[in-house]
Amino acid sequence: MPILDNAVNTLGVFRRLAGLAGTIVTMYRHHFGLFWRIMMPVVFLVILFDIAIFFRSVKVFEANDEVIKWVEAVKFGWNINTVTGISPTSGVSSRYEPGVTWELSFNPKLEIISDDGVIWIWHLNFRHFEYSLLLLVLCPLTFAVAQLYHHQKITAREVWRQTRRRTWAILGANLLLVLIVEAIPLLYNIALGLIPQHQPWYRISRFMLNPYLYMVIILIPCYFLVTFSLYNPCLILENKSALAVFRRSYEWVKGSWWRFFGIYFVTAWMASVITSVLFGFALLALSAVLPELARVRDALLPIRIFTLFLGGDVEIGLQRLPSVSTTVAIVVVRGLISAFLVPIWAILTTHLYLERVKKCKK
């Protein structure tokens, strides 16, 4: 009987997850235009900001490359990844030798490196949503989703008018969330950089580099992200102060933390897979008109692109940074894919919030 009961409970969990996924897909499909009208002004500005920041990082990377290019064991260059986009890379040259490597750890990973240096990666990669976009549009999207949930008509202009009334509270709450989530990892990295690498500090340095401590440093922000995940619905729907919304979110999540964590875990992993698939096909389309990306086309065709549907992502090394127009096109595509995923998070968190409110009223 216990085995049968566990099987029934497991089926119930999958059924509820499937129902939640269906709710998200249905609402997104029916109100796609509204969500994008809400986001578009912010998406345009964020993409311009990302382009500026990227080319700023290019200058910094090239300056560092000039300083230490004499180190033969280190390989410098650029790569295109179907999740993270285009980025500078540096590492030991042997990493790019053909073969198979795997790592069994907190984040298990399998890498297959082909003869042409293309890396196929399977690991628990979670799509993180950029603060620059998510924090700016989540409140208006949340308000829109809540109105649609109650079958009320709403326009993008009305959504932003309602959001502007809470501007300072939204900015304050967003700043607090970033500080809460990033404070411990930031302090850890600062402390690690300040500790001398010689006696009598060596033991302290070894303790700071302990993988179990590093795991704790990663898990603490995860705990806060789940605990305060409903702060946005509380902020825009309950009209509370920037501090009160975090306490309110804690009250809603308390007692169901693991359920929330499981839902977010699956959502983040699926978002990573969706990103890899969309980016892979987008890069393939760009490679048809941009000769600089011919290497991407060779890596993904004829059928290897379909491995992206199995949870893998592809990393393709480049000899040099592509032209400005090609690089901008890649950054823009990545920004649009990021924007495409943001309403999923807004629908999910608002649904979970309204579900908790409805349950408490019974």
Predicted confidence (pLDDT) per residue in 164-176, tens digit: 888 888 888 888 8
What are the DSSP E strand ranges found in the chain?
74-81, 85-92, 99-103, 109-113, 119-123, 312-318
Query: Of 314, 316, 318, 328, nearest to 277 (Cα)?
Result: 314
pLDDT in tens, 219-231: 888 899 899 999 9
State residue 1's pLDDT score: 43
Poorest-pLDDT segment among 102-111, 137-146, 287-296, 346-355: 102-111
Largest CA distance in the chain: 69
DSSP state of 69: T
Grouping H, G, I as helix, E, B as strand and the rest as coil, residue 323 is coil
Which whole-number Å values give the CA distances from 106 to 85, 123, 124, 192, 314, in the listed order?
Answer: 24, 10, 9, 21, 21
- The model's confidence at residue 91, banded by pLDDT at 50, 70 and 90, is low
Summary mean pLDDT of the chain:
79
pLDDT exceeds cutoff 50 at 94: no
pLDDT exceeds cutoff 80 at 275: yes
The radius of gyration computed from the CA coordinates of the chain, to the nearest angstrom, equals 23
A 10 A CB-CB count for 159 gives 24
Q: Global pTM? A: 0.82
Most confident of 98-107, 265-274, 349-358: 349-358
State residue 145's pLDDT score: 94
Residues near 306 by Cβ (< 8 Å), separated by ≥ 6? none
| Alpha-carbon gap, residue 70 to 74, rounded angstroms | 9
pLDDT in tens, 111-142: 777 766 677 676 665 544 455 566 788 889 99
State residue 214's pLDDT score: 75
Query: Of 329, 297, 328, nearest to 314 (Cα)?
Result: 297
Q: Is 296 exposed, middle or buried (0-12, 13-18, 19+ CB in 10 A)?
A: buried
pLDDT in tens, 11-60: 666 777 788 888 899 999 999 999 999 999 888 888 898 888 888 887 77
Poorest-pLDDT segment among 29-38, 97-106, 332-341: 97-106
State residue 27's pLDDT score: 93
